[in-house]
Amino acid sequence: MQLYGTEIGSPLLLGTAQYPSPAVLTKAIEASGAEIITVSLRRESAGGSGMGFFEILQETGCRTLPNTAGCHTAQEAITTAHMARDVFETDWIKLEVIGHSDTLQPDVFGLVEAARVLSADGFKVFPYTTDDLVVGEKLIDAGCEVLMPWGAPIGSGQGLRAPEALKAMRGHFPDIPLIIDAGIGRPSDAAQATELGFDAVLLNTAVATAGDPVQMARAMALAVQAGRAGFLATPMERCDMAVPSTPILGLAELA
């Protein structure tokens, strides 16, 4: 997977919120095999750990993808992105512009506006978007080289609510890296995403709030790898009727 000219080996990106402790977070990151982790500027420092939260993340060796979580206008997201670039010393930014407080659905109009401004300013934008093909086209025209459609509302764990729309998106953008962002709840959801041809999955809540976050991180890593391998193997087509695996011709006839 090539993201803005950088080769990424792992098809799993991991968020860093809601973990029970910094120690569990670092163990989960290691178990996931993730090479990219996301973090918000709103994250508080890890109390009592002897070092700040950002320093803990740096020690994992992963690439940090700061995000504009909680921003509800294009201007707020643009300002937050500039602050993130100063803090993390990276021009990569996961762009979120929230349009609906209950579903946390992206404001696609503000998203395209912010993406255009940030791309022109040298940012490598990773937009959290919907599965709308027109919006995807406009984000690419705005300078984005990757699209991150939601599978379901953030933190809902509903899996892929519109697999056919996502499948159409994969077909419409064959050369654009596509990453499912939000809604993944179980390893089977993650496997379905990569089996549909998506290059990677970004998730947080499913791992952070699991009974055993480290074990769940390991399970998610295996799931995305299995799904990706299945996609590359070209799965069999579904049939409406049974197809015998043993040929009928040549069977012995018993008197």
Residue 81 assigned as binding residue: no
Indicate the Cα dihedral angle 168, 170, 174, 175, nearest 10°.
140
Asked if 9 and 35 touch (Cβ cutoff 8 Å), the reply is yes
Angle in degrees, 0-180, between the axes of helices 213-232 and 187-195, rounded to the nearest 10: 20
Asked if 117 and 74 touch (Cβ cutoff 8 Å), the reply is yes
Active site residue 167: no
Residue 204 assigned as binding residue: yes
Residue 70 assigned as binding residue: no
Residue 52 assigned as binding residue: no
Catalytic choice (27, 94, 138, 167): 94
Residue 206 assigned as binding residue: no
For the annotated catalytic residues, the residue numbers are 94
Q: Which residues are annotated as a binding site for 1-deoxy-D-xylulose 5-phosphate?
A: 155, 182-183, 204-205
Q: Which residues are annotated as a binding site?
A: 155, 182-183, 204-205
